[in-house]
Amino acid sequence: MKTFPMGGVHPSENKLSSARAIEVLPLPEVVNIPLAQHIGAPAVAKVAKGDKVLTGQLIAEAGSFMSANIHSPISGTVTAVDLVPNGQGLRQMMITIKREGDDWAEGIDRSATLVKECNLSAQEIIARIKAAGIVGMGGATFPTHVKLSIPAGKKAECVIINGVECEPYLTSDHRTMLEHGEELVVGVTILMKAVGGEKAYIGIENNKPDAIAHLSKIVAAYKGIEVVPLKVRYPQGGEKQLIAAVTGRQVPPPPALPIDVGAVVCNASTTFAVYQAVQKGMPLIQRVVTITGKSLKEPKNLLTRMGTPVSTLIAAAGGLPENTGKVINGGPMMGRAMVNLDSPVTKGCSGITVMSEHDARRHEASQCIKCAKCVAACPMGLEPYYLSKMTQKKNWDEVEARMITSCIECGCCQSTCPAYLPLLDWIRLGKQTTMGRIRARAAAAAPRK
């Protein structure tokens, strides 16, 4: 069975909610919509305090090409456009909307009927995806229209759909594939048309045999789409790892992109959102969020409107257990611990993981014994112990030469370290600093040209 060639770990899967059908969370009373919930420039608010908005109405426009539109997830009145603390407690510009009824903007088809035919051109498809504000919903939140705009001189040979969901606990992509398989496959044909690719692969880890069987049955009727079962291994859902696993091609280090090896990768939930945007005119205003954790009463998958407070989801799953040590936005490997549970669900939030005090606490760090387990575990072929040490010594030239910017922050090194060293904490800081230095250099070089 296929998998990526280098590194990786296999943490306990803990897919507690994989058998739970998607439930629709009741409409929230108040939502907070951050203007920056994607990579790139923040969106620019189009509404002001006191404005009435409809569900699906554009409330913030993309700030640049590398940005995304934002639509109102509910109908009601804008009560504020102000700084509100996000999950990390940092203040961020958000649009606050108080709900009144449930009125939808025009042109949105909310029926469940499947629309297979798509007679739009590639440009029109990308324009609709851009208008709907779709971003990568696996967590990286890269604007999808940017990804689909193939630069001149490059050619997309294949579209790869990421149905791997290698992150422990999370099951939102899994449930989407099972319950919206038909729509998802239509979404794949739309993506193929948009990038002009002949071939599409849907990569799914073999811990989801039901999804593999279901989608295999559906794609039999389509030309050029293939379901690829993959061996369970984290971080297979990483873009570069998935391309290597499915096609055997290695994406060169930055600034090279997946398109340089002829691949465009799209997450399963994103593909479903693309179907809804192109065929039904539905902007990205809701997503499936897994609310999970061993201590939770009812782990489940909830179809949630964007901007819903995380605390509402936790309440819907039976409330916050008393022994909770950490609530994580995302899964345990790549997610971010939250300090503010009133913060909203955003486009990139695939799950909320609740950890007990016992599970959440990190072990006391000791000394590096140079066992090189982190080196063996790194899927990007880096030397985590060295990058971590050099970051602590502020040796920025050295970390840059050792390709710290290639780090995908998967956390394999830290999870495998027998000394419990906070390797990723340091590497993430080193990566941020190095990126800042590269940007500063580019800015300094620009005026001379």
Partner 1 sequence: MEVLLYTILTLCVLGVLAAVILYFVAQKFRVEEDPRIDEVEKMLPGANCGGCGFAGCRGMADALVKRDDISELFCPVGGSDCMKAVAAYLGKAAAEKQPEVATVRCGGTCEKRPRTNEFNGAKSCAVAASLYVGETGCAFGCLGFGDCVAACAFDAIHMNPQTGLPEVDPDKCTACGACVKACPKMVIELRKKWPKNRAVYVSCVSKDKGAVVMKACKAGCIGCGKCEKVCAFGAITIANNLAYIDPQKCKLCRKCVNECPTGAIKLVGMDPLPKEPKAPAAPKAAPAEKAAPAAKETPKATQAAAPVEKAAAAPAPKAAPAAKEPNHES
Question: In this complex, which beta carbon is closest to partner 1, that of residue 93 or of residue 316?
Answer: 93
Please enumerate, as own/partner, the contacts of 212-217 that have beta carbons within 8 Å and a separation of 24 or more.
Answer: 214/177, 214/178, 214/181, 215/163, 215/177, 215/181, 215/184, 215/185
Distance CA 120, CA 126 (A): 10
Nearest to 93 by CA among 54, 51, 44: 44
Burial annotation 396-405 (CB, 10 A radius, 16+ → b, else e): bebbbebbbe
Bridge partners for 72 per DSSP: none
Question: In this complex, which beta carbon is closest to partner 1, that of residue 66 or of residue 339?
Answer: 339
- Residue at token pair 């409107």: 305
- Give least dist CB 91 to partner 1, A: 6
Distance CA 279, CA 339 (A): 39
Half-sphere exposure of 96 (CA within 13 A, CB side): 15
- Give least dist CB 92 to partner 1, A: 11
- Give least dist CB 266 to partner 1, A: 29
- Give least dist CB 335 to partner 1, A: 12
- Give least dist CB 340 to partner 1, A: 8
Question: In this complex, which beta carbon is closest to partner 1, that of residue 154 or of residue 336?
Answer: 336
- Give least dist CB 89 to partner 1, A: 3
Question: In this complex, which beta carbon is closest to partner 1, that of residue 85 or of residue 229?
Answer: 85
Question: In this complex, which beta carbon is closest to partner 1, that of residue 91 or of residue 217?
Answer: 91
For 162, the token pair is 């990421």
Half-sphere exposure of 100 (CA within 13 A, CB side): 10
* Residues at the contact surface with partner 1, assessed by CB under 8 A: 85, 88-91, 336-337, 339, 360-362, 365, 392, 422, 425-426, 428-429, 432
Question: In this complex, which beta carbon is closest to partner 1, that of residue 163 or of residue 411?
Answer: 411
Distance CA 186, CA 135 (A): 18
